[in-house]
């Protein structure tokens, strides 16, 4: 039976092309078999969505937002494992688990994974920047996590980004006794710092342009923290007897950052590109710096379905300090202000949340 308390329309931050996002009234999505309708309580602003908006990467109109947590208000036939009132967070991509890519656990390259399974209307795009979202049936089957009573909705928005970081660390294969440099201490870089310390990395070095981010990096477990530039190069040489870091994670995007990061890795080391997701991100490397110096260059993108339960368990642990990363929250009507701040962060700005019910 339909829930008569659900309104016919809702507010949403709608991308209209030309870098424009407007708060509008749109229809509440209609439920189908096996689907869930969720009232959104919090959604993180992710730079992946910002890039799509700023570079007009996908046709308008769309409602973005995928780091989403909320409350089930209606469950379709076949989704009876969930009930109205259940507190949930969810992934907007889930693979088929059957294709060639899935057999080798390259889930992000699976054609089913590339289909977005959460929508607030228009072409499915995540939908978290709206008051309600519809979770498609294949996501309901494998991509939903219940939020325990002790965890806030703000905390729950970190399950998806923590998963992406865990995937990157799994590919990087940090070994006992190794040093790791995290380039960039924005929200993702800080998550890497906290996870590396949680996993017992021998030394975690961090670099950033903002002193407040370096200070938080130290608080989350960084062994040493340096201002980006020559200070990092000098400090890292001193800390590693001139070798460079065993592994480097590039968690920021800027001209020259990849070339600089490769130079900061020791000969025989690994470099993980994590933030280089836009089609226009280019870099130039001397072949010798990779081949003759025996370095490994890796990429990691999006989440891993096999790490879903683990990422949730980490976030539900109140000792894991994700809420320290949240600095600002915005109503839907203020979304453009939040987008500007996230795109060009001022001192003190880190993770930004949209709270659609306010």
Q: Where are the domains of the chain?
A: 9-150+318-354, 162-299
Please name the residue ranges forming H helices in 39-142: 47-54, 100-103, 111-114, 137-142
Instruction: Please report the pLDDT score of residue 345 as a whole number.
Output: 78
- Give the DSSP per-residue string, 78-97: T-TTS-TT-EEEE-S----S
Least confident of 164-178, 185-199, 215-229, 336-350: 336-350
Name the pairing type of β-strands 20-27 and 9-17. Answer: antiparallel
Confidence of residue 281 (pLDDT cuts 50, 70, 90): confident
Confidence of residue 103 (pLDDT cuts 50, 70, 90): very high
| 122-126: average pLDDT | 98
Question: Secondary structure of 252-278 in the HEC alphabet?
Answer: CCCCCHHHHHHHHEEEEEEEEECCCCC
203-235 confidence digits (pLDDT tens): 999 999 999 999 999 999 999 999 999 999 999
| 313-327: average pLDDT | 97
Instruction: Please report the pLDDT score of residue 4 as a whole number.
Output: 63
Q: Is the pLDDT of residue 51 over 80?
A: yes
Instruction: Please report the pLDDT score of residue 2 as a whole number.
Output: 57
- Write phi, then psi, for 352 (nearest 5 degrees): -115, 135
Other C-beta atoms lying within 10 Å of the C-beta of residue 170: 15
Tokens of 168: 């990157």
| 44-55: average pLDDT | 92
Please state, in angstroms and rounded to a whole number, the distance separating the CA atoms of residues 222 and 210. 15
Confidence of residue 1 (pLDDT cuts 50, 70, 90): very low
Q: In the chain, helix, strand, coil percent, each to 5?
A: 30, 25, 40
Confidence of residue 278 (pLDDT cuts 50, 70, 90): confident
Between the alpha carbon of residue 108 and those of residues 102, 156, 215, 301, 302, the distances in Å are: 9, 22, 34, 7, 6
| 51-57: average pLDDT | 91
What whole-number percentage of the chain has pLDDT above 90? 92
Domain 162-299 -> CATH class: alpha beta
- What's the burial of 283, exposed, middle or buried (CB within 10 Å: 0-12/13-18/19+)? middle
Q: Is the pLDDT of residue 342 over 90?
A: no
Confidence of residue 5 (pLDDT cuts 50, 70, 90): confident
Domain 9-150+318-354 -> CATH class: alpha beta
Instruction: Please report the pLDDT score of residue 346 as a whole number.
Output: 75
Cis, peptide link before residue 168, omega less than 30° from 0: no
Of 156 and 280, the structure prediction assigns the larger pLDDT to 156
CB 12 within 8 A of CB 23: yes
């Amino acid at each position: 039976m339909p829930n008569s308390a659900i309104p016919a329309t809702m507010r949403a931050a709608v991308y209209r092309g030309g870098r424009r996002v407007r708060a509008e009234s749109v229809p509440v999505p209609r439920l189908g078999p096996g689907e869930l309708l969720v009232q959104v309580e919090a959604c993180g602003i992710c730079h992946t969505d910002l890039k799509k908006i700023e570079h007009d990467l996908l046709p308008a109109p769309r409602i973005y937002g995928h780091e989403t947590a909320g409350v089930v208000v209606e469950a379709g036939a076949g989704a009876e494992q969930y009930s109205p009132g259940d507190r949930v967070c969810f992934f907007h991509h889930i693979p088929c688990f059957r294709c060639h890519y899935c057999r080798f656990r390259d889930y992000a390259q699976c054609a089913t994974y590339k289909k977005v399974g959460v929508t607030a209307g228009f072409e499915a795009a995540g939908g978290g920047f709206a008051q309600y979202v519809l979770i498609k049936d294949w996501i309901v089957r494998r991509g939903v996590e219940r939020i325990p009573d002790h965890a806030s909705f703000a905390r729950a928005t970190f399950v998806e980004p923590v998963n992406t970081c865990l995937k990157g660390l799994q590919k990087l294969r940090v070994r006992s006794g190794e040093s790791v440099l995290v380039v960039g201490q924005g929200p993702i870089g800080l998550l890497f710092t906290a996870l590396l310390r949680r996993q017992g990395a021998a030394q975690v070095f961090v670099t950033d342009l903002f002193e407040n981010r370096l200070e938080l990096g130290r608080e989350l477990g960084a062994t040493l923290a340096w201002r980006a530039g020559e200070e990092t190069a000098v400090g890292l040489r001193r800390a590693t007897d001139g070798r460079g870091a065993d592994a480097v994670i590039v968690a920021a995007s800027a001209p020259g950052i990849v070339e600089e990061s490769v130079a900061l890795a020791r000969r025989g080391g690994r470099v993980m590109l994590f933030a280089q997701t836009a089609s226009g991100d280019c870099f130039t490397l001397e072949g010798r710096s990779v081949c003759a110096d025996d370095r490994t260059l890796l990429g990691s993108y999006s989440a891993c379905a096999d790490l879903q339960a683990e990422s949730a368990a980490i976030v539900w642990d109140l000792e894991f300090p994700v809420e320290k990363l949240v600095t600002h929250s915005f109503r839907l009507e203020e979304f453009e202000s939040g987008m500007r701040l996230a795109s060009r962060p001022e001192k003190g700005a880190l993770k930004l949340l949209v709270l659609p019910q306010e």
